[in-house]
Structure 1
Amino acid sequence: MRTFRAAAVGAATFSLVLTAAACGGGSAGGTGSNERPETLTYWATNQGANIKVDKKVLQPELDKFEKRTGIKVKLEVVPWADLLNRILTATTSGQGPDVLNIGNTWSASLQASGALVPWDEKNFKKIGGKDRFVESALGSTGVHGQDPAAVPLYSMAYALYYNKKLFADAGIKKPPATWDELVATGKKLTKGGKSAIGVEGSNLSNNIHQVFVLGKQHGAEFFTPDGKADFTSDEAVTAVKQYIDLMATHKIVAPGNAEYAQNQSLSDFAKGRTAMVLWQTAAATFKAQGMKDDEWGVAPAPVQSGSPGSGKSTNSMVAGINMAVFKNTKNIDGAMKFVKFMTSDEEQKVLNKAYGSIPPVKGAQQDPAFNTPALAVLRETLVSSAAALPQVPEESQFETVVGTAVKELFADAAAGRPVTTQSVKAKLDKAQQQMPKK
């Protein structure tokens, strides 16, 4: 999971939690109960088609770790809808896990709580060194200039997935490379009860991912250099409106998508109801939904013009999952051994193959399994044209308030209400007012 599944949390609530965490104490997780010291509690993110799949993937690896070290790992796979609030509660109650996965976009926000072990040079040395990890993945591990709050575990990137048969039936020979091409292609595909592209208007984090990328393409930053929210710039307004206009103006997104939440757009795509979807590392989900690998293709996500690259040609956020350790664990040595195991070349190959993601560990990336045509597009995106979301303590509030603004604008479009530059700016101004004042 993925970061697009993140739970919503209000800015005021989050600020209170961080304040309490900074002042609080206590112990974390299985270590705060009557568990043996050689037992660790691990909160894993829901990476597979469902929690049952995750347990099937992870439990044999945890058993392998126990056999090698004598340390038992108690696994809980936490649904994305609950994960952020569970973590925030754990930082104040002391009743959390020893080790946990986090969406990489939350790293700076959770770092500010003071509840996570910082990954300084000494701690990185315990797991083989910082230089084992891909630089782009390390860019989403906390505030720049500070020791990371977590280490990369799974890497992902956005791409444009398309239905080969629907494209062929419409006489379309290649996937669109620019947004203008996407709209033109989309109008050819929107017919017979099918729509061109799926979105998830009620999925706050996915909303943020899409408008962040569009914002980069227009030159928006969303935060000033000193960390103040800047949601109402002309560039930000243009980016958000361009995304909403896929439904409001161009009519290539079905109005019902305004209510879509987790994975509903992927289900429509797998069932042939839509011809395209912008998503991150989706192959395993398509397969779980019964779609054959040769039925879909993948291409870099669109840019405004030209080819994907850095700056205004950014076409993905740096997506992925990080692994963190709670400071209050009573088994820090065991926790470090577990992180070392999970980020080893061997385990990185096993886990990322199972989930269809890309190892953020350089050595594991050399495996030919991660050089398939589909994954090659994602790897190239991460290397050359992806950017990390703002690594500021208020990032999770940003996801919530701007994600909600986009959700409300999709609801307006679905209801036939006009979406104008003025109405977009008003929604973004309302979102900005909900951010903590600097």
Structure 2
Amino acid sequence: MKKIKWIMIASLLVCFAFIMTACGSNSASSSEEPLKIWAMGAEGQKLKEFAKNFEEEHGIKTDVLAVPWGDAHDKILTAVAAGEGPDVLQIGNTWVAEFGEAGTFLDLTEYVESEEYPNLNQDNFFPSSTQTTVYNDKVLAVPYIIDTRVLFYRTDLLEQAGYPDGPATWDETLDAARTLAARGPDKNGFEIDQGSHHIPMMFAWEHGWDYDISKGAENFADPKFKQAMELYHQLFDEDLAQLEAGKETVQAFADGTNPMFISGPYMVNTIKEQAPEIEGKWNVKVMPKAETSNSIAGGSHFSVFHSSERVEDALTFINYMADPETQVEWYKEAFTLPTVKAAWEDPALKNDPMIKVFGEQIEMTKAFPVMAEYEFMAKELLKTLEQINRGGKSVDEALAEYQKEVEKILSE
């Protein structure tokens, strides 16, 4: 109910702000005011400097505000309520439906099909990226960064366990994890980030499950979803993964405590920088296969705020950032994976063996459901798994209760 209330209130405020803006005095011309851009996370800081290339090429000044991801959601909520936001807005790809429901974004459908902005054409991007840009049959955003998850593993320790090239299936992963966990009381076989809803969703996709919006909560009665949650629980139940908080991920990977874990591309440089002593002793691999090896299609998009008076300039900026050459340069600068398929033909990505694995994994990704309730459902799933792993509930009992909670979420 809270979700629906804020959406209704925000929508009314958006309409009011639009009317007030239309009745007010004319704003300064584009040549006098910089293009306001909200960019999130560490990449936002780097975009401030990177955007100078755009300014020189197009003669459009920019004002990039770097917003920490932890503050981004509330900051956008405030902007929606006030009806005053930036011209260009970076959003997480699971937020499109939630904020789209409130009328936050300009409908970009006509622009992504326009020859004036050729880099916005949806055929340029990985399909799993564009799936999360559309809500209610409107294109509300353009892919900016794609993110996925792969298996990180210690090659030396996995060789001792019989898998020098890493495990290819979940059966092999469990077998290797058992051998590795048997090394001693302080050794584990696998590490799982219990605060990430990505991992259980990946497990479900890998077991052949998918979310059908028309089925609602019934999706979670699917035996394939149960099998995936049983695998998740098995890693803790057999003491293959540590339930309680332990060492920091890179430290545990470097000293061999946790020889396998799941993470994204940012971790490649993090390990190289923080654990140079294990150079040549680790690698990455596409996700282990159950029925599939599907991983997440995470990442973020660029959108245009609904009340922007700089639509043309905003689209010019987004078109610039979606250019294959720009995507490659941005990868070199921020180490974020390009969403544009053509960018992956550049030697900087094509000839890097580890990044090439991420490219292979992107071809096997699934998008999160584009629905305003998804974030609420994901948080509830983590609570459910905690009840199984810590509270002692059976998988059957916990999932039955989860299905009821999802029914409530979807009915509010």
TM range (shorter): 0.7 to 0.9
User: Considering only CA atoms, is the larger Rg found in Structure 1 or Structure 2?
Assistant: 2
Residue in 2 that maps onto 1:187: 178
CA positional deviation for 1:318? 1.5
What is the distance in 2 between the residues matched to 1:286 and 1:90? 37
Matched, 1:437 2:411: yes
Distance 1:76 1:431, change over 3 A: farther
Distance 2:207 2:283 in 1: 27
- Native 8 Å contact 1:22 1:113 kept in 2: yes
Matched, 1:358 2:348: no
Identity of aligned residues (%): 25
Does the CA contact (< 8 Å) of 2:144 and 2:299 recur in 1? Answer: yes
Distance 2:83 2:387 in 1: 36
In the alignment, the residues of structure 2 paired with residue 252 and residue 186 of structure 1 have an alpha-carbon distance, to the nearest angstrom, of: 6
Is the CA contact (8 Å cut-off) linking 2:126 and 2:341 kept in structure 1?
yes
Give the C-alpha shift of residue 314 in structure 1: 4.3
The corresponding residue for 2:62 is 73
Structure 2: gaps (5+ residues): none
Alignment match, 2:94: 105
SS at match of 2:174: helix
8 Å Cα contact 2:155/2:282 also seen in 1: yes
| Residue identity matched to 2:308 | T
Q: How far did 1:229 drift?
A: 6.2
Q: What residue in structure 2 maps to residue 307 of structure 1?
A: none
Task: Provide closer, same or farther for how the CA distance between residues 238 and 171 of structure 1 changes in structure 2, counting only shifts above 3 A.
Answer: closer
- What aligned pairs does 1:17-416 form with structure 2 within 5 A after superposition? 17-25=6-14, 26=17, 37=30, 38-46=33-41, 51=42, 55=45, 57-125=46-114, 126-128=116-118, 129-130=120-121, 131-143=123-135, 146-170=137-161, 172-190=163-181, 191-192=183-184, 193-201=186-194, 203=195, 206-207=196-197, 209-225=198-214, 227=216, 230-247=219-236, 249-257=237-245, 264-266=248-250, 268-270=252-254, 272-281=256-265, 282-291=267-276, 294-304=280-290, 312-371=291-350, 372-383=352-363, 385-410=364-389, 412=390
Q: Deviations over 1:4-28 (max 9, x none)?
A: xxxxxxxx43322222233222279
Matched, 1:421 2:395: yes
Relative to structure 1, the CA distance from residue 74 to residue 14 in structure 2 (aligned partners, 3 Å threshold; closer, same or farther) is: farther
Shift in alpha-carbon separation, 1:87–1:54, aligned structure 2, 3 A: closer
In 1: Cα distance, 2:215 partner to 2:8 partner = 20
CA displacement, residues 188-216 of structure 1 (integer Å, 9 cap, x when unaligned): 11234232221121x2xx22x22222222
Q: Name the aligned partner's letter for residue 15 of structure 1.
A: I
Distance in 2, matches of 1:275 and 1:314, equals: 20
Write out per-residue CA displacement over residues 120-153 of structure 1, whole angstroms, 9 at most, x where no aligned residue: 133452431413323332122123x712211111
Query: What root-mean-square deviation, in Å, do the aligned CA atoms of Structure 1 and Structure 2 show?
Result: 2.9
Contact 1:42 1:98 in 2 (8 A): yes
- CA gap of 1:430–1:267, structure 2 versus 1, over 3 A, is farther
Q: Give me the TM-score of the superposition, normalised by structure 2.
A: 0.85
Aligned residues: 394
Structure 1 moving runs of 4+ over 6 Å: none
CA distance in 2, matches of 1:352, 1:407: 36
